[in-house]
Chain A
Amino acid sequence: MSRYLVVRVSQGLLTLLLVSILTFFLINLAPGGPSAIMNFQSTAEQREALTKQLGLDKPVVQRYAEWLGGAVQGDLGNSLDSKQPVGELLAERFPNTVILSAATLIFTLMIGIPLGVLAAVKRGSWIDRLITFMSTFGMAIPEFWLGILLIIFFAVIHPILPISGMMTAGSDFSLVDLIKHLALPMFTLSILMLPNIVRFTRSAMVDVISLDYVRTAKAKGLGAYRVFFQHALRNALVPIAAIVGLIVPILLGGSVVVENVFGWPGMGRLAVQAATNRDYTVVMGVTILVGAIVIVTNILTDLIYTVLDPRIRYE
């Protein structure tokens, strides 16, 4: 088990290294390269000074080596825009993204798994067809548009929910206030993920429902709820855990858009601001962090399998 973990973690680190190489060279070898970030209004001397300061006169391989040397020690460089260390910016924004994403994930699983189970149990019925159609529909809705519609409905027509930020300006922290601010972005983001969860739960359940042990559970007189939720769903959770591993990247991508719709001060807003300003050190830092989250999620998913299914053991 621990040996398995060592292998997985080192594989993950290797992937992360490759991702950083890809990103770094993509940015630095682009036509105009990072020098394109320099304001065209600046004078030739200013540009030269900036080039020196950023070390852009050095060969790209050397610059990558220097970046990597710093990154290993936790130094991801400074933002070209605000001059703040990238690590500091990430540390400030990342927890907010975690709050939004975790709330969304929990909400989506709580809604999506029962819907998927229902569709599977009532397979072929109108309920199943409705749920399946709604999930296709949900996948096609642009989440930023849904966000705007929700804002119009809950702020313009029925002004009951705040539409921007994480808490009311000037007030002390309160959980109720946070939840109110969380409601719309969380709902918007969950619509992006719900179709995946519902469809996957449905197909995992359809596979499990026809199995012998589900018939055994019925033969014990356990009743529909226990048969489907405790016996069938408990087994379907293993493939469902796999999809959770796969949707975390979708969640992170979606949160970029949703954070911008609702002015949520998370990593996604930071990333878009940075991309707009072509602040490549920040974009690079965000990408590395996101890559790391994806890798950690995958390892965690593998560990969750062992909890969910006693037959799975890693050697």
Chain B
Amino acid sequence: MSNTASITERERISPPSVAPGKGRIILNVLGGLSVVGKASLSYLVLIYLFVLVAPLFLAHSPTDTDPLSVTLPASGQHWLGTDELGRDELARIVSGGRITLMVGLAAMALAVVLGGLLGSIAGFFGGKTEYVIMRLVDMMLSIPSFFLILIEITSFGNSPPVVIVAVGFTYWPQMARIVHAEVMKWRDSSLVEAETTLGAGPWRILFRHVVPQTYSSIIVLATLGIGWAILAESGLSYLGLGIQPPLASWGNMLQQSQNYIWTAPVLAVYPGVFILLTVLSYSLLGEALRDVLDPKLKR
């Protein structure tokens, strides 16, 4: 078979989703989002820009303590006031946000890679590989996720990379289960058969042709999952098991603020509001994406 023939053949069989340019697809999806979805996405873009860019303009460092100006109210000098050690609260929110948001993203990236890889291998190759992977998934899902994280923290300590791994490692079974189910639907499809006839190896078929079919599900689940990961990291840090002071995260800021609820209750408000808005935006965006990418699932 000549080379050109096989290329045209591939194009004919390839699913339509790869036909238009990738940029066009993204634009179509984003354009199809509901108003709520667009608003959530806008908030998320803004908050990421904010925590990344704001440090360049802020007058205060998040770590400079000042014993003479502790728990000050909001003022022109300190827009959100100062915390119990006299640190600028706004600077703390920005630097804590950077940690929290990045940990959420990184943990979900890990879950996507690990869950996607194992789930698609299990779904595509079947047999013993599938059995072993899916039993592992079942087992991990039978332990309530928070306890799984506790085990991981107990085993590995609590540096930021461990927190990322612990949170991501807890979410991968859910990702694997969805990807497994999706890939299984394609295992015996004509697409795979055609590609095999054309001489493509199984790995190539899996990653070039089958896995792209699961992108919609992965994107939706990952979007919802980032919100969950942020909640998990904040919870851990709040409990003193996640990000450790002096490094700020929205969760450990709340832990410290609980000691000052009598003198400076407002310190307990800011980080929580940001966590809430961010997690809410991820859930609403995830639901809006699901409506666009997979209308069948709409209830």
Is A in direct contact with B (CB under 8 Å) within the complex? yes
B117 sits at the interface (CB 8 A): no
Nearest opposing residue in chain B for A282, CB measure: B154
**Contact (Cβ within 8 A) B153 A275:** yes
Of B49-57, B82-90, B274-282, which binds chain A?
B274-282
A76–B143 alpha-carbon span in the complex (Å): 18
Within the complex, which residue of B150, B227, B231 is in contact with A256, where a contact is CB–CB below 8 Å? B150
**Contact (Cβ within 8 A) A19 B139:** yes
Instruction: List the B side residues contacting A284 at CB < 8 Å.
Output: 151
B126 sits at the interface (CB 8 A): no
Q: Of residues 212 to 249 in B, which have CB atoms within 8 Å of A's CB atoms?
A: 227, 231, 234-235, 238-241
A42–B282 alpha-carbon span in the complex (Å): 46
A256–B145 alpha-carbon span in the complex (Å): 11
Interface-centre pick from A140, A203, A250, A254 (highest chain B CB count, 10 A): A140
**Contact (Cβ within 8 A) A294 B144:** yes
A89 sits at the interface (CB 8 A): no
**Contact (Cβ within 8 A) B261 A156:** yes
Q: Of residues 1 to 56 in A, which have CB atoms within 8 Å of B's CB atoms?
A: 15, 18-19, 22-23, 26-27, 30-32, 36
Main SS at interface, chain B = helix
Nearest opposing residue in chain A for B263, CB measure: A156
Of A104-112, A141-149, A220-228, A229-237, which binds chain B?
A141-149
Instruction: List the B side residues contacting A127 at CB < 8 Å.
Output: none
B155 sits at the interface (CB 8 A): yes
**Contact (Cβ within 8 A) B156 A294:** no
Instruction: List the A side residues contacting B251 at CB < 8 Å.
Output: 142, 144
The verdict on A148 contacting B235 (CB below 8 Å), with A142-B272, A252-B144 known, is no
**Contact (Cβ within 8 A) A137 B280:** yes
Total count of chain A residues near the partner, CB < 8 A: 53
The verdict on A275 contacting B154 (CB below 8 Å), with A148-B258, A152-B261 known, is yes
Instruction: List the B side residues contacting A252 at CB < 8 Å.
Output: 144, 146-147
A175–B145 alpha-carbon span in the complex (Å): 33
Nearest opposing residue in chain B for A248, CB measure: B144
A253–B238 alpha-carbon span in the complex (Å): 14
Whole-angstrom distance from the CB of A11 to the nearest CB of chain B?
11
Instruction: List the B side residues contacting A198 at CB < 8 Å.
Output: none
A279–B153 alpha-carbon span in the complex (Å): 11
B257 sits at the interface (CB 8 A): yes
Nearest opposing residue in chain B for A34, CB measure: B155
Within the complex, which residue of A250, A271, A295 is in contact with B142, where a contact is CB–CB below 8 Å? A295
**Contact (Cβ within 8 A) A152 B276:** no
B152 sits at the interface (CB 8 A): yes
Total count of chain B residues near the partner, CB < 8 A: 45
B254 sits at the interface (CB 8 A): yes
Nearest opposing residue in chain A for B157, CB measure: A36
Whole-angstrom distance from the CB of B59 to the nearest CB of chain A?
28
A257–B251 alpha-carbon span in the complex (Å): 12
Instruction: List the A side residues contacting B156 at CB < 8 Å.
Output: 30-31
A272 sits at the interface (CB 8 A): yes
A30–B257 alpha-carbon span in the complex (Å): 33
Within the complex, which residue of B147, B238, B269 is in contact with A287, where a contact is CB–CB below 8 Å? B147
A140–B235 alpha-carbon span in the complex (Å): 12
The number of A-B residue pairs with CB atoms under 8 Å apart is 139
Whole-angstrom distance from the CB of B232 to the nearest CB of chain A?
9
Whole-angstrom distance from the CB of B255 to the nearest CB of chain A?
8
**Contact (Cβ within 8 A) A140 B150:** no
**Contact (Cβ within 8 A) B151 A139:** no
Nearest opposing residue in chain B for A30, CB measure: B155
Instruction: List the B side residues contacting A274 at CB < 8 Å.
Output: 154
Within the complex, which residue of A26, A144, A148, A155 is in contact with B155, where a contact is CB–CB below 8 Å? A26
Nearest opposing residue in chain B for A293, CB measure: B144
A276 sits at the interface (CB 8 A): yes
Instruction: List the B side residues contacting A240 at CB < 8 Å.
Output: none
**Contact (Cβ within 8 A) B155 A286:** no
A283 sits at the interface (CB 8 A): yes
**Contact (Cβ within 8 A) B139 A249:** no
Q: Mark B50-77, 1 if CB is under 8 A from A, else 0.
A: 0000000000000000000000000000
Within the complex, which residue of B151, B227, B275, B280 is in contact with A145, where a contact is CB–CB below 8 Å? B275
The verdict on A148 contacting B144 (CB below 8 Å), with A27-B151, A287-B151 known, is no
A291 sits at the interface (CB 8 A): yes
Q: Of residues 121 to 169 in B, which have CB atoms within 8 Å of A's CB atoms?
A: 135, 138-140, 142-147, 150-157
A22–B140 alpha-carbon span in the complex (Å): 9
**Contact (Cβ within 8 A) B235 A144:** yes
A291–B284 alpha-carbon span in the complex (Å): 32
Told that A15-B138, A149-B269, A290-B147 touch, could you supply 18 new A-B pairs with CB distance under 8 A? A15-B142, A27-B151, A136-B280, A136-B284, A142-B235, A144-B235, A145-B272, A149-B268, A252-B144, A252-B146, A257-B146, A271-B150, A272-B240, A275-B154, A283-B150, A283-B154, A290-B144, A295-B142
**10 tightest Cβ-Cβ pairs between the two chains A and B:** A253-B146, A145-B272, A249-B144, A30-B155, A140-B280, A140-B279, A253-B144, A283-B154, A27-B155, A152-B265
Selected A-B contacts with CB under 8 Å, 24 pairs: A19-B139, A22-B139, A26-B151, A27-B155, A137-B280, A140-B276, A140-B280, A142-B231, A142-B251, A142-B272, A144-B234, A144-B239, A145-B275, A155-B261, A252-B146, A257-B235, A271-B150, A272-B241, A280-B154, A280-B155, A283-B150, A283-B154, A286-B147, A295-B142
Chain B residues near A (Cβ < 8 Å) = 135, 138-140, 142-147, 150-157, 227, 231, 234-235, 238-241, 251, 254, 257-258, 261-262, 265, 268-269, 271-272, 275-276, 279-280, 283-284, 287, 299
